[in-house]
């Protein structure tokens, strides 16, 4: 297809000529290619200029089907305000033009997040968007707790004030939380009122020493990205300013959190403010007699009131992403937690023995970045962790090596265990994370592909770190998805070695468009 021929059609004043251009673009999309920037901008210009209904319909179809990620939100917002589509069009016809129903839902949520209430010309458009969101939530099993939290947060912090005029808002809130928003006495002033009266609640309150902020901030960002409410001082600067911190922090750590996560270290034991937070949390734990305090150990320093018998997570053995995966399971509703447990058990579908699965789980939990030889364990480290005989471990390791999940490093004089070191392969995480962690590398590979497309520039490599900054997954979750894209020849990795990611940047291949589309179909 000659680009000058296409532009001749699109620049025509006659609809019949423009339609020929639309037909050429449609053939291009159907062959698995994407729309270039010049064509994309020309279509958007036509979309904004022409009043012809057939032009409007044709152009939005092409833009939404053609992977025009950079302007997709602009197109949809403009279309919402100008054409006033029905809820059926939003939840049905238009949803089909996205690479996935989740992408459609997230785009609609982006609009509700980024636009002020005054930007919408009528309550009907707002209502229609919520109707479309409800349809996606009900009809798509892939919609999970992250999206429920996002919808819940949107309603509580912004859209609650329209719930009286737009009943669908309260209906959605009730369906995803199991309770009425207004009966929670949050209908008019919501978060602002809660903060002013000192009643704001948090899923997690974080307690740490300033020297350990790096770990706390990573966990806070992971929680925030999944729309859990978290008390982290940097997020609360506006609220803390001018308050009596002794009284306020005592109340936060003793009354406001569902759980208190403590980062235990020599710095934590020595500092005054962490001591105040710990004492307030211990007061709450003593009253309720349940696991309110969730310790994360950075070193072996003894902390008053936290006995060695209290179960903890260890940052020396697990990445913060792996620990967050465990924490997230505690925060999920009971039925979703049950589903997670059921999913974990289904790893037996691999046909592995119970002892092999034990070894597999140890390797998965100890990995920080899901890279090759991460972890790389000595025979003694494995024996200490698994508590099985050398012969049993030898059989389990051999079974994992046969599946391509580990590489055994053998030397002269090694014992009955059959290796000197055992190292995980990237294939282990890509194949088993959907069973052992709280994410699915297959689905993640589609989300990663979409993000890579969204931030790519023609002729240039795409930074993996930039993609991770957008997704906020961390390397432990991102690398298995990236491994699948590389193995399937969807992207070409650079040869630059990186200590955190499989590669520092990738070149996108044309088949990435088909990869996304085929997953949808």
CA distance from start to end of the chain: 27
CA distance 262 to 281: 10
CATH 1.25.10 range(s) for the chain read 3-190
Q: Report DSSP letters for 427-453, one per residue.
A: HHHHHHHHHHSSS-HHHHHHHHHHHHH
Q: Between 101-114 and 69-83, two packed helices, what is the crossing angle to 10 degrees?
A: 70
282-288 contacts, C-beta under 8 A, 24 or more apart:
283/254, 284/253, 284/254, 284/255, 284/260
CA distance 75 to 64: 8
For residue 57, the model assigns a pLDDT of 64
DSSP 8-state assignment for residue 240: H
Q: Is 3-190 assigned to CATH 2.60.40?
A: no
Number of H-type helices and E-type strands within the chain: 26, 11
What Å distances lie between residue 31 and 49, 67, 91, 249, 514, CA to CA?
28, 13, 26, 59, 9
CA distance 219 to 213: 10
For residue 308, the model assigns a pLDDT of 78
What Å distances lie between residue 141 and 44, 73, 276, 283, 487, CA to CA?
33, 24, 44, 41, 27
For residue 514, the model assigns a pLDDT of 82
Which are the contacts of 84, defined by CB distance < 8 A and separation ≥ 6?
Answer: 122, 124, 125, 128
CA distance 418 to 395: 9
Give φ, ψ of 378 to 5 degrees.
-80, 165
CATH of 439-520, one of 3.40.50.2000, 3.40.50.300, 1.25.40.10, 1.10.10.10: 1.10.10.10
CA distance 125 to 121: 8
Given a contact cutoff of 8 angstroms between Cβ atoms, the answer to whether 293 and 253 are in contact is no
Given a contact cutoff of 8 angstroms between Cβ atoms, the answer to whether 45 and 37 are in contact is no
CA distance 104 to 63: 14
Q: Is 347-432 assigned to CATH 1.10.10.10?
A: yes
Question: What size, in residues, is the chain?
Answer: 521
Candidates 380, 474, 478, 466; CA nearest to 430 is 478
For residue 188, the model assigns a pLDDT of 34
Here the tokens at position 491 are: 């992207």
- The H or E element containing residue 423 is strand 421-424
CA atoms within 13 A on the CB side of 474: 24
* Record: fold of 201-316: Rossmann fold (3.40.50)
CA distance 106 to 203: 23
Mean pLDDT in order along the chain per 10 residues (521 residues): 74 83 77 71 74 65 56 56 52 46 67 75 75 65 63 83 84 70 42 44 91 93 82 87 89 90 94 92 83 92 86 90 86 52 58 87 92 91 89 91 90 81 93 87 90 72 86 92 92 80 88 76 49
CA distance 233 to 217: 10
Given a contact cutoff of 8 angstroms between Cβ atoms, the answer to whether 436 and 469 are in contact is no
Candidates 329, 346, 328; CA nearest to 338 is 329
Give φ, ψ of 394 to 5 degrees.
-60, -45
Q: Within a 10 A sphere around the Cβ of 92, how many other Cβ atoms? A: 13
For residue 56, the model assigns a pLDDT of 61
CATH 1.10.10.10 range(s) for the chain read 347-432, 439-520
Q: What are the residues facing 421 on neighbouring strands? A: 378, 409
CA distance 444 to 100: 12
Candidates 81, 132, 138, 86; CA nearest to 107 is 132
For residue 214, the model assigns a pLDDT of 93
């Amino acid at each position: 297809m000659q680009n000058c021929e296409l532009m001749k059609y699109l620049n025509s004043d006659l609809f019949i000529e423009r339609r020929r251009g639309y037909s050429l673009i449609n053939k291009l999309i159907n062959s698995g290619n994407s729309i270039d920037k010049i064509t994309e901008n020309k279509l958007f210009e036509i979309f904004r200029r022409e009043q012809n209904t057939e032009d409007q319909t044709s152009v939005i179809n092409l833009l939404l089907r053609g992977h025009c990620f950079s302007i997709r939100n602009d197109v949809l917002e403009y279309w919402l305000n100008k054409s006033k589509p029905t809820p059926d069009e939003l939840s049905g016809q238009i949803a089909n033009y996205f690479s996935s129903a989740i992408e459609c839902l997230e785009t609609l949520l982006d609009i509700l997040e980024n636009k002020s209430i005054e930007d919408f010309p009528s309550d009907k458009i707002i209502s229609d968007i919520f109707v479309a969101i409800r349809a996606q939530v009900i009809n798509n099993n892939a919609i999970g707790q992250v999206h429920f939290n996002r919808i819940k947060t949107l309603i509580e912090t912004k859209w609650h004030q329209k719930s009286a005029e737009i009943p669908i808002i309260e209906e959605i809130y009730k369906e995803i939380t199991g309770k009425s928003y207004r009966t929670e006495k949050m209908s008019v002033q919501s978060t602002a009122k809660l903060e002013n009266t000192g009643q704001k609640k948090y899923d997690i309150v974080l307690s740490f020493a300033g020297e350990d902020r790096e770990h706390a901030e990573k966990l806070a960002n992971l929680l925030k990205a999944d729309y859990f409410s978290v008390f982290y001082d940097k997020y609360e600067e506006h609220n803390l300013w001018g308050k009596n911190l002794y009284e306020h922090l005592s109340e936060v750590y003793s009354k406001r959190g569902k759980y208190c996560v403590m980062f235990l270290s020599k710095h934590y034991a020595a500092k005054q403010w962490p001591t105040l937070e710990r004492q307030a949390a211990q007061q709450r734990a003593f009253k309720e007699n349940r696991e309110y305090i969730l310790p994360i150990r950075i070193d072996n320093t003894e902390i008053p009131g936290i006995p060695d018998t209290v179960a903890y997570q260890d940052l020396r053995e697990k990445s913060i992403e792996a620990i967050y995966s465990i924490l997230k399971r505690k925060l999920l509703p009971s039925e979703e937690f049950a589903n997670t447990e059921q999913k974990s058990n289904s790893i037996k579908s691999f046909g592995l023995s119970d002892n092999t699965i034990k070894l597999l789980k140890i390797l998965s939990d100890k990995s920080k970045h899901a890279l090759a030889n991460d972890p790389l364990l000595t025979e003694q480290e494995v024996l200490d962790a698994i508590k099985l005989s050398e012969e049993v471990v030898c059989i389990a390791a051999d079974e994992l090596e046969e599946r391509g999940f580990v590489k055994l490093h053998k030397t002269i004089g090694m014992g009955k265990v059959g290796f000197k070191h055992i190292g995980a392969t990237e294939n282990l995480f890509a194949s088993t994370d959907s069973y052992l962690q709280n994410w699915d590398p297959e689905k993640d590979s589609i989300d990663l592909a979409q993000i890579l497309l969204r931030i790519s520039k023609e002729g240039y490599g795409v930074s993996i770190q930039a993609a991770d900054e957008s997704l906020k997954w961390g390397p432990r979750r991102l690398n298995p998805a990236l491994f699948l894209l590389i193995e399937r020849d969807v992207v070409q990795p650079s040869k630059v070695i990186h200590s955190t990611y499989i590669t520092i940047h990738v070149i996108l291949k044309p088949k990435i468009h088909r990869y996304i589309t085929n997953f949808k179909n």
